[in-house]
Structure 1
Amino acid sequence: MSTTQQLVLRYFTALAEGDQQTIRDCWAEDGSVWYGGDLPISGTWQGRDQVIDGFLATAFAHLDPEQEIGVKVTNVFGEGEQVLVEWDSWATGKTGRPYHEKNIGVFVVRDGKIVAMREYADTQHWERALVAP
């Protein structure tokens, strides 16, 4: 397994464990996230602080912290600086509805840090489970 793949898996382990310092350490200061759709987390989030305190915080703010929140990587492969990851994520929304998503993310790693992620998921499910009244 390449060091780029190991870094991205370290990031996912930190997400699953809620290890904020390791999450922050995995991202380059100028890192960015793109998420499709028309959701509170959609668009481009530029810079490590926006990725963590914007994108991730906004996503987690829609989840019920009293219920199980899970992330499990199901596939990872890559070449060079790019890593593709498939994962399952599950939770209960603050709406009270169940959330279970299959995601794909394309990560770019340079100099031992994540510099970009493009995430693809079922945005309609995200909205129905976590946003819609």
Structure 2
Amino acid sequence: MSAASDNTRILRDAFARTAAGEGRAFVDILAEDAVWITLGSTAWSKRFEGKAAILRDLLGPLRAQFSQPNRVRAERFIAEGDMVAVEAQGDAVTRDGRPYRNRYCLVCRMRDGLIVELTEYADTALIDRVLGPPVPAVKA
């Protein structure tokens, strides 16, 4: 198999589990030195460096806004070499009952079966309209 097909298979498996509400599947394929870039000019738009920062400053605060898991279902994969683009549809509800159904294009660079860089393209108007600002978890 080629690197592109191996990387697509890894992402396809993780997204299948994420669509079923198992967000941990996606976290498990983030490299420790991963970089996640959320584009735009929202309070969520930032470059998150390292898996710990991604969990603490992005995914944790995002999860805290939802009353249920954000089920992200992949619809299309385009791969070449170590790069895989994933077109996906999210489905969640905020704690105050508002639907959050964002569309994504996630461009992932893979290394040794793990995501080392992810650039997220999303509906930033929806982010501004539905989500509050990210609030990182406070360490006790």
TM-score by structure 1 length? 0.84
Aligned AA for 1:85? V
CA distance in 1, matches of 2:18, 2:61: 14
Residues 17-39 of structure 1, C-alpha deviations (whole Å, 9 max, x = no match): 3252x434311110010002343
Aligned: 1:54 with 2:57: yes
CA distance in 2, matches of 1:72, 1:63: 17
RMSD: 2.1
CA change 1:19–1:73 in 2 (3 A) is closer
Counting aligned pairs with the same residue, the percent is 28
Q: Say whether the 8 Å CA contact 2:85–2:108 is kept in structure 1.
A: yes
Aligned AA for 1:96? G
Gaps (5+ residues) in structure 1?
none
Aligned: 1:75 with 2:79: no
Q: Which residue is 1:18 aligned to?
A: 22
SS of the equivalent of 1:106 reads strand
SS of the equivalent of 1:8 reads helix
Gaps (5+ residues) in structure 2?
134-140
Q: How far does residue 52 in structure 1 lie from its aligned partner after superposition?
A: 2.5
CA change 1:14–1:46 in 2 (3 A) is farther
Q: Which residue is 1:98 aligned to?
A: 99
Residues 54-109 of structure 1, C-alpha deviations (whole Å, 9 max, x = no match): 321122211123xx742211111110000000000011112321111111010000
Q: Which residue is 1:109 aligned to?
A: 110
CA change 1:110–1:116 in 2 (3 A) is same
Matching residue within 5, 8, 12 for 2:8: 5
Aligned AA for 2:82? E
CA change 1:54–1:14 in 2 (3 A) is farther
CA distance in 2, matches of 1:23, 1:122: 21
Q: Which residue is 1:124 aligned to?
A: 125
Aligned residue-pair number: 129
Q: Say whether the 8 Å CA contact 2:63–2:70 is kept in structure 1.
A: no
SS of the equivalent of 1:2 reads helix
CA distance in 1, matches of 2:73, 2:102: 11
SS of the equivalent of 1:91 reads strand
Q: Which residue is 2:44 aligned to?
A: 41
SS of the equivalent of 2:36 reads strand
